[in-house]
Amino acid sequence: MESQHAAGRREWMAVLARTPRDVLQAALDQALDGAKPPAYEWLRAPDIGLAMVRGRIGGTGDAFNLGEATVTRATLRLRTGDGSAPVGVAVHLGRDKERATLAALVDALLQTPRHAERLRTHLIEPLAARIADERQRKQAEAAATKVEFFTMVRGE
């Protein structure tokens, strides 16, 4: 069974992967309340590569390779000075190394008791709500263009 921490981390990493750099930077600045983020060391400096994107026929059928997508990834370890050394990881679509750095930093900070609650309330929850609103707006737009077809049967 998955731990609650792992489930929470999966959710916040999904939010971080979908958040644009400028929004992520502004939210991090607000969450840290102007304080400088802690020092960190690179375990894997931001690098750009390709990942295979897979699809499913009809959304539920057999899997197939759709093509490759550019991704940026980064891994860092905080230097907290208290013996803990949380590791932050980020992977996102695109070629933005700064965005990967910010997301990895937030991931690591979310694992520290000092920053976790403030980052959740000032960064993750508002960004998750924003992503959900955007998804709902897009679904409503798509639903507005839906055409219902029906067949009329002639009398026998």
Indicate whether 2 pLDDT > 70.
Answer: no
Confidence band for 36, pLDDT divided at 50, 70 and 90:
confident
* Helix (H) or strand (E) segment spanning residue 54: strand 40-56
Each residue of 37-68: pLDDT tens digit? 889 999 999 999 999 999 988 878 899 999 99
What's the confidence (pLDDT) of residue 106?
A: 92
Write out the two tokens for 122.
């000032």
Task: Give domain limits for the chain.
Answer: 4-140
Highest mean pLDDT of the ranges 18-22, 53-57, 88-92, 109-113: 88-92
Q: Which of 81, 76, 125 is nearest to 116 (CA)?
A: 125
- Which is nearest to 42 in space by CA: 93, 111, 108? 108
H-helix or E-strand containing 110?
A: helix 97-110
**Higher pLDDT pick, 70 / 156:** 70
Give the separation between CA 122 and CA 26, rounded to whole angstroms. Answer: 11
CA angle 41, 107, 35 (to 5 degrees): 75
Exposed, middle or buried by CB within 10 Å (0-12, 13-18, 19+), for 130?
A: middle
Phi, psi of 53 (to 5 degrees): -100, 125
Q: Global pTM?
A: 0.81
Model confidence band, residue 3 (pLDDT cutoffs 50, 70, 90): low
| Inter-residue contact 46 to 73 (CB < 8 Å) | yes
Q: Tell me the pLDDT tens digit for each residue of 117-132.
A: 888 988 899 989 999 9
| Helix, strand, or coil (residue 116) | helix
* pLDDT averaged over every residue in the chain: 88
Contact 79, 41 (CB under 8 A): yes
Q: Is the pLDDT of residue 156 over 70?
A: no
pLDDT band, residue 1 (cuts 50/70/90):
very low
pLDDT at 89: 96
